[in-house]
Structure 1
């Protein structure tokens, strides 16, 4: 199970006990916000795309949407989301549990500027009923991200 893969990943850093698992689904921003009793904007959703034949992940705030022109300017490609089968095969996580932790080799991770306005955010942990609360500094420390990007709209 992917959540166990993430726990094992976090074990090396001593934070595996921070992973929360719920009796209810947290597969969407709305469900995660309900499970965590927080604003949906603080859910750090991880979106998966194909760029130049490679999978990439972009972690954004729950209320942010991809801005196609910003995305194209950043990645020199049209935003093409992965299919559910591609998501699991290329990232190692299923839709609803995709996160920037313990991903398959070769997947680049980007953090979107929409996250910076929060003290803490809640990314998933590999399953459709898990999350972890992290400060932005902790997210930067624990997610093997490439760089910060500004590819979203609707949040500022």
Structure 2
């Protein structure tokens, strides 16, 4: 595994949270929701996009776990969480989370992170998320992911 430390961090964070996962290394890239769905054999909507933002005033790391088919309405989300969102560059994402863009996982961050999960993911029996590298993923259920991350359920679209 090229990003062994990142996938190990995801595995360890899942274990600490009581989340049983099997990290799968795919032969092809799973960097985008479409690539991940093709590799996992599921709908794009069942892919968890882990999008990193910073709070404009708090400078907190804010993680949005979004259905693969949805585009985040940043203004609507900002209104719902009470703070504007700032898009960090790739270097800042890596420095603040420990993950490179394309392998950002829903857990295993190197710093305190505020986590919100897309209400549209909750309807699925199973979902797939990145596991710390551009071709590693794991399957879980929305309820288990909410428990493991402490995520608040939020509408991500307008």
Aligned length: 151
Aligned twin of 2:112: 106
Distance 2:75 2:110 in 1: 28
The structural deviation recorded for 1:41 is 1.0
Structure 1's unaligned 5+ residue stretches are: none
Q: State which of 3, 7, 11 in structure 2 corresponds to 1:7.
A: 11
State the TM-score, normalized to the length of structure 1: 0.87
Is residue 149 of structure 1 aligned with residue 144 of structure 2?
no
- Using the alignment, how far apart are the partners of 1:69 and 1:78 within structure 2? 7
The Cα offsets for residues 92-146 of structure 1, whole Å up to 9 and x where unpaired, read as 111011122111222111111121121111011111111111111211222232x
- Residue 51 of structure 2 aligns with which residue? 47
Cα deviations by residue, 1:39-95 (Å, 9 ceiling, x for unpaired): 111101111111121211010100011113311311334432221111111111110
Q: Distance in 2 between matches of 1:108 and 1:132?
A: 21
Aligned counterpart, 1:97 = 103
* Cα distance between partner residues in 2 of 1:127 and 1:102: 12
Quick one: distance in 1 between partners of 2:85 and 2:54? 8
Distance in 2 between residues matched to 1:55 and 1:11, nearest whole Å: 22
1:132 is paired with a residue whose SS is strand
> Aligned-pair distance for 1:14?
6.7
Measure the CA separation in 1 of the matches of 2:102 and 2:44: 15
Give the TM-score taking structure 2 as reference length: 0.86
Equivalent residue, structure 2, for 1:26: 30
1:14–1:28 Cα change, 3 Å: closer
